[in-house]
């Protein structure tokens, strides 16, 4: 029954995210609204981590299985993708490098900011 309650909480937040996506005219995916709601509820202590932990761990564990339909879709669209494969691979590599560099720079900035804050308060 505990797992059912946890799964119901996650599904309810996902549903509310879908409703917000339909009501708010921003180009933000419904799943992001749901995750933000979950974050806010956890941050405000309205919802405890233990209220969703086991189901969240399970969903993370099976996440690779959730990519199978997308992979099958790519296989079905292989004939259309083959002609532009070089462009797709180039874009994927470039974007991956940009994300890695940006993430590293932002992390370094936060670490410097944290050290400066710690030094000022000690």
| pLDDT tens per residue, range 21-74 | 999 999 999 999 999 999 999 999 999 999 999 999 999 999 999 889 988 888
DSSP class of residue 62? T
pLDDT at 41: 97
- Tokens (6 digits) for 91: 């874009």
Q: Please give the span between the terminal C-alpha atoms of the chain, in angstroms, as a whole number.
A: 49
- The whole-angstrom separation of Cα 19 and Cα 16 is 5
pLDDT at 95: 97
pTM (2 d.p.)? 0.64
Query: Is the predicted pLDDT of residue 112 greater than 80, yes or no?
Result: yes
pLDDT at 4: 95
Q: Residue 118 CA to chain centroid, in angstroms? A: 30
Exposed e or buried b per residue across 17-39, where buried means at least 16 C-beta atoms within 10 angstroms of its C-beta: beebbeeeeeeeebeebbeebbe
- Tokens (6 digits) for 95: 């974007």
Cα 13–28–18 angle (5° rounding)? 30
- The whole-angstrom separation of Cα 53 and Cα 55 is 6
The neighbour count for residue 55, using CB atoms within 10 Å, is 19
């Amino acid at each position: 029954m505990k797992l059912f309650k946890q799964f119901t909480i996650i599904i309810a937040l996902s549903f509310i995210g879908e409703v917000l996506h339909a009501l708010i005219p921003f180009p933000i995916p419904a799943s992001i609204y749901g995750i933000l709601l979950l974050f806010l509820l956890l941050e405000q202590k309205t919802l405890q981590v233990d209220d969703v932990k086991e189901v969240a761990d399970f969903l993370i564990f099976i996440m690779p299985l959730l990519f199978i339909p997308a992979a099958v879709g790519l296989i079905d669209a292989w004939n259309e993708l083959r002609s532009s494969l070089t462009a797709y691979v180039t874009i994927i590599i470039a974007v991956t490098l940009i994300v890695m560099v940006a993430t590293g720079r932002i992390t370094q900035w936060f670490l410097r900011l944290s050290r400066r804050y710690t030094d000022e308060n000690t």
